[in-house]
Amino acid sequence: MNLKKILTWTLVAFLLFFLISSPDQASNVVTGILASLRSAAEAVITFMQNLFV
């Protein structure tokens, strides 16, 4: 087995453990990540709109 495969399965196992052991915190983490992605996308859109106006 190569190191990449071991690390991938370890990460998957950790994420499953985190989701099962504390679903409330996991949902807060996902909500925070999605909010950050949304604000980043809005910033790019605003930049592009100001660039071509």
What DSSP designation does 5 have? H
Encoding tokens for residue 27? 């949902």
Encoding tokens for residue 26? 């996991």
Would you state the pLDDT for residue 1? 66
Residue with tokens 């999605």, as numbered in its chain? 34
- Count the residues in the chain: 53
Question: Does the model's pTM come out above 0.85?
Answer: no
Would you state the pLDDT for residue 41? 98
Give, for all 53 residues of the chain, the pLDDT tens digit.
699 999 999 999 998 999 899 999 999 999 999 999 999 999 999 999 999 88
Categorise residue 48: left if φ over 0, alpha if ψ from -120 to 50, beta otherwise. Answer: alpha
Extents of the domains making up the chain: 24-53
